[in-house]
Structure 1
Amino acid sequence: MKLFELYRYSKPSPGPDVEFVEGYRNIFNATRWPDWPGLVDAGRVQLDHGIDSVTRIKAIDGQRRPAILIASKPHQAGSDWTPWHDELNPEVGHVRYYGDNKATLGPNPLDPPGNRSVMAEFPLHRSATRAERLRAAPLLFFESLVHEGKAKGFWRFIGFGIVERAQLTTQVDRQNRWFVNYVFDCALLGLEPESLTLPWEWIAARRDPTKTLEESLRLAPASWQAWVDQGERAVDRVRQRVSRFQSVSQGNQRPEPGTPADDALSVVVAHYKRLGPYQGVGEHRFEGLASEIVGSYLRDSGQYHPGWITKRAGDGGIDFVSRLDLGVGSGSLKLVVLGQAKCVSPGAAPASGLDLARTVSRLDRGWVGAFVTTGFFSEQAQREVQADRFPLLMLSARHVGEAVVKESALRGESVPSYIQSVDADYDVRLSSRAPIEVLGD
C-alpha cells in the first residue's frame, strides 16, 4: 500500500480482481492475499468500523494477530456521539485515536471488540523483550476523505505503527450521556527504504499460519525490523517524518459542509456579524468567544487562564489577553498569550501576513500570540509565520466551528446557548490593564 494514496472502498464490493474503481485503486485489490496455500479462504480485510482486526490465527509458532486496521473519519468529528477529534499527524509520525466505545455500549470500555483488540496488543508494543515485540500486530491507519462531494468510500493510507500510550478518558455524547473510553497515542514508523510503500506480503505472511514470525519479519519494513530488534529506543530514529512546507488549503481551513462544525460556524457568524445582511451584536464582541476558543486548544498543553478583553480604544491590535501555565508548583512556567479576533463573512478575503503582523509586533520575549478568524489564512501568511518561526497560534473557521461544538457539548448546552452565555460576560471582562499584569493573577 502506497503512503498517502487514495483508495476506493465501494459497496457492493467489486471483488479483489478489479484493480481500479472509478479511476481509483480498489482497496480490496491492494489488500488481496497472495495465492499461497496457507491463505486459502483467508477472507478479506474490512474498514467497516473504527477498529477492524484481521482474524487472529494459530500459526506453527503460536497464536498471533496479523494486523489491526484503524479508520478515522475527521470530517464527521462531532457529528455522531462525541465532540472529540482524532489527531492525525502523519507528517510527524503521530496519531491520537479515540476508541470505539459509546454510551450505548455500556460502562466497560473493553466491551467493544476494537478496543479489546488494541489493548491486547498494547503490552506487546511496550514490551522490553524481542520475542513479544516480534509477536505484536502492526496498526495500519486510514483517513476517510470527502472526495468530489462524496463523504463515503474514499480512504487515504497514512501509515503504520504501534501504540505508545493508552489511557482512559471520559467523554460525553450529543445526548449529554457520559461514558468512559480509551484514547491511544500511536507512533507511525517510516517507509523511506521501501519507497513509501507498505509491503502487503508482510501482512500476508503474518496471516499465513504456515509461516513463522521470523519468516514474516524478513518481509517487514526496515523500521519495523529495527523496532522489533531494539524496542523503544529505536522509535524516534525510525519514526515517520515528512519534511515539507505545511500550508493548509482554504478548503481544509473550513468545516466540511453539512457537519455540526459547519452549522456552529454559521451560528457564530450570524450572532456576531453586523455588517451587510447580518444583524448580529457586533464583530468586536467575537473577541470574548475567540478567547474561549484559544483555551479549547491550549488546555491540552497546560492550564489556560482567560484574562480580559482589551477596550476598543487604543488596543494596539490586541483584542484579548490570557495566560498559559506549563508545569505545576514552583516548577511552573507562565506565558502571556496575546490574541486577535476577526469575525468575517464566508466570502471575505483571507487573513494576510499584514493582518498577523499587528499581533506579532506586540509580542515580548517569551510571549505567544493567537489569531482567531471565522475565515481563513492565505498561503503567503502561513509561509511567513513558518519561515520566521513566530510563536503564533493560527485558528481558522474550521477550528472555530469544531471548538464551539466541543465546548458547548462539555457544558451540556446547545450551540446558540453556549455562544450567548459567553457573550453575556463580554462587558464585565473589558479592561485596560497592561498584558504583563496577567502573570500576577
Structure 2
Amino acid sequence: MAESNRGDETPEGPRVVAIHDELRYAQGGSQVDLVVDGFPNYHWLLSPSPLKLPRIMLEAGINGPAEVDALDGLRRPLIAIRSSPWKAGQASNPWHDEFDLDHGHVRYFGDHKPATVGFPGATRGNRLLLEAARLHAGTTEDERLLAPPLLLFRAITIRREGRALQKGHVEFCGAAVVERLEHVVQRDPETGRSFPNLALDLAVISGDDFDGIDLRWIDDRRDGQLSAADALRYAPASWKRWVKQGRVAIPRIRRRVLASAVRSSAEQQPEVGSPEADVLDAIYEFYEDRRHAFELLASRVAAEVLRESGARYKEGWLSRSSGDGGVDFIGRIDIGATSASTPVVVLGQAKCVRPTSSISPEQVARVVARLRRGWIGVYVTTGVFSRQAQVEIIDDQYPLVLISGGTLAPAVRRMAYGSFGGNLLALLESTVEQYGDAITHRRPEEVISV
C-alpha cells in the first residue's frame, strides 16, 4: 500500500459521521472547532484544519470538489449533494426530492431549472451527476474504483431561542451509489412551464457498526499519493463490496432499518401547512359525497407509486361497486426482463376517510383474505394505518403495499402537474367522468392476459 504524504498532521483515530447526525454548517465556519453552537461542526468533519485541504462546500445543490491528480490518474474524491426541502416548489428548487433512508432509497432531481438554456448537462451540477453515473454504471472494478461516492445532506430547520432557523444546519443522510439515471420532463409549479432535467435513484449504502462512514475514507480519496485502491482502507464494507461486485451487490448493501416498517400517524401524513396537506384536504372534500370515484384515483395513485419504484405496472380495471369482497381495483406487475418475465396480479383496496382517521387491522385483513399465492395487495387511503394493522402485516409477512395520505398527496400533486397543468380539480373530476367506463365484471386473474 502506498504511503500517504499527510504524516502526523492527520487527526488521530476515526472521524465518524452517522446517518441522521445534525451538523452545524456555517459558511466560512471554523475548521478547527469540533463543535459549534452545540452541534458537530461540518467543516471540521469534512475538512479538519490539520489536513490543510480546501473546504467541501454545500452552497449549491450538487457540489464537486476538484479532481485529484493521483498516482493512477484523475479521480473526483466525492460529490456532496444538499437537498433543501423548505425550498421545494420555488423557482430555485421546483421539485421535491424524496428521502426514504430507512429503506435506503433517495429520488434526487438535478439542477436544471425552467430558465436554464440547453439540455440537461448544461449546468455544472448535472454534468457532475452524468459523470458520476457513468462511473457508477461501470462494468469493471477499475471503473468503479474511480466512482465518486455521493455524500447526501438535507437542510433542516433548527429552533433556537424561540426562532426557527432554516439555514446553517444540515442532516447527514449517508453515502450513496447511483442506481439509475433518467431524463425527465418537469413542470414549474409557479409558471406552468415544462423543462427537461435529470432524475436519479440513489441506493444509500449500509454503514458499518455505527451506521455511518469514517471520513478518513474521504481524506484518502482526496490524497493524490494514494491510489484509488489504497483509498479504500477506511471505506465502508458495503462500498468495498459494491466496487468488487458492481450492480448485483446493491440489494445486499442497501441500508435497511427493520423497525422502520411501523410508522406513526404523523409520519403517514403530510406536514401541517404544506402544499401536500392542502392537496390531501382537497381530495377528501372532493370525494366526501362520491367516494366510489375515489377508487379510480386510488388505482392511478397505486400505478404512480409502483412505477416510481421501477416496477413495470399495468392498470387493469375497477371491480363492481358492491360485493367486491375487499377489492376495488385490479392491476398487474410484470417482473423480470421484457424477454423473460412473469405477471403478478395486484389487488387494490381504496378507502376515502378523514386524513386523521385510522385504518384498522380488520379493514386491512379483507384485502389480505383475497390474495392468492404469488399475488400482492395495495391499500390506498387518505387516512393512516393503525400501528396494530402495520404490526400484523409485518409479523405475518403479508405482501401488502400501504399507501397512506402522506404518500397519496404528493403522488396526486405530481399527477396533476404532469397531466393537467397543475389543475388538481381537473384531475379529480376526470375520475368521476371516467369511473363508469373503468368498471368491469372480470375475474382478477384475467388481468394476466391483458
CA shift for structure 1 position 379: 1.9
In structure 2, the residue matched to 1:30 is: 45
Matched, 1:296 2:307: no
Distance in 2 between the 1:368 and 1:128 partners?
Answer: 34
Q: Aligned letter for 1:191?
A: G
Q: Aligned letter for 2:199?
A: V
Matching of residues 189-204 of structure 1 within 5 Å: 189-192=205-208, 195-204=210-219
Q: Aligned letter for 2:267?
A: N
Matched, 1:44 2:59: no
CA displacement 1:94-134 (0-9 Å, x = unmatched): 44433222232123211111121232233433445555444
1:307, 1:323 within 8 Å by CA — same for their partners in 2?
no
Distance in 1 between the 2:326 and 2:248 partners?
Answer: 47
CA shift for structure 1 position 287: 1.9
In structure 2, the residue matched to 1:277 is: none
Match of 1:122 among 133, 150, 162: 133
Match of 2:396 among 359, 363, 388: 388
Matched, 1:337 2:346: yes
Matched, 1:417 2:429: no
Q: Which moved more, 1:125-134 or 1:27-36?
A: 125-134
Please give the secondary structure, in 2, of the residue aligned with 1:104: coil
In structure 2, the residue matched to 1:142 is: 153
Distance in 1 between the 2:237 and 2:370 partners?
Answer: 48
In structure 1, the residue matched to 2:195 is: 179
1:4, 1:158 within 8 Å by CA — same for their partners in 2?
yes
In structure 2, the residue matched to 1:278 is: none
Q: Which moved more, 1:298-307 or 1:22-31?
A: 22-31
In structure 1, the residue matched to 2:258 is: 244
Structure 1 unaligned residues grouped into runs of 5+: 274-280
2:17, 2:215 within 8 Å by CA — same for their partners in 1?
no
The 1:336/1:187 distance shift into structure 2, 3 A limit, reads closer
In structure 2, the residue matched to 1:351 is: 359
In structure 1, the residue matched to 2:3 is: none
Structure 2 unaligned residues grouped into runs of 5+: 1-15
2:82, 2:155 within 8 Å by CA — same for their partners in 1?
yes
Residue identity over aligned pairs, in percent, reads: 35
Matched, 1:406 2:421: no
CA shift for structure 1 position 286: 1.9
In structure 2, the residue matched to 1:268 is: 283
In structure 2, the residue matched to 1:63 is: 74
1:107, 1:179 within 8 Å by CA — same for their partners in 2?
no
In structure 1, the residue matched to 2:10 is: none
- What TM-score, normalized to structure 1? 0.83
Distance in 2 between the 1:127 and 1:328 partners?
Answer: 20
Distance in 1 between the 2:219 and 2:207 partners?
Answer: 18
1:370, 1:394 within 8 Å by CA — same for their partners in 2?
yes
CA shift for structure 1 position 220: 3.4
In structure 2, the residue matched to 1:429 is: 438
In structure 2, the residue matched to 1:372 is: 380
- What TM-score, normalized to structure 2? 0.81
Q: Aligned letter for 1:405?
A: R
The 1:237/1:169 distance shift into structure 2, 3 A limit, reads closer
The 1:440/1:66 distance shift into structure 2, 3 A limit, reads closer
CA shift for structure 1 position 162: 3.1
Match of 2:315 among 305, 323, 343: 305
The 1:129/1:5 distance shift into structure 2, 3 A limit, reads same
In structure 2, the residue matched to 1:276 is: none
Please give the secondary structure, in 2, of the residue aligned with 1:365: coil
Q: Aligned letter for 1:377?
A: F
Matched, 1:53 2:64: yes
Please give the secondary structure, in 2, of the residue aligned with 1:46: coil
Matched, 1:104 2:112: no
CA displacement 1:150-172 (0-9 Å, x = unmatched): 66555332321433443333333
Q: Aligned letter for 1:241?
A: R
Q: Which moved more, 1:196-205 or 1:233-242?
A: 233-242
Match of 1:316 among 314, 317, 325: 325
CA displacement 1:396-434 (0-9 Å, x = unmatched): 001211111011111133112211122222244345554
Distance in 1 between the 2:301 and 2:384 partners?
Answer: 15
Please give the secondary structure, in 1, of the residue aligned with 2:317: strand
Distance in 2 between the 1:419 and 1:334 partners?
Answer: 30
CA shift for structure 1 position 211: 5.6
In structure 2, the residue matched to 1:156 is: 171
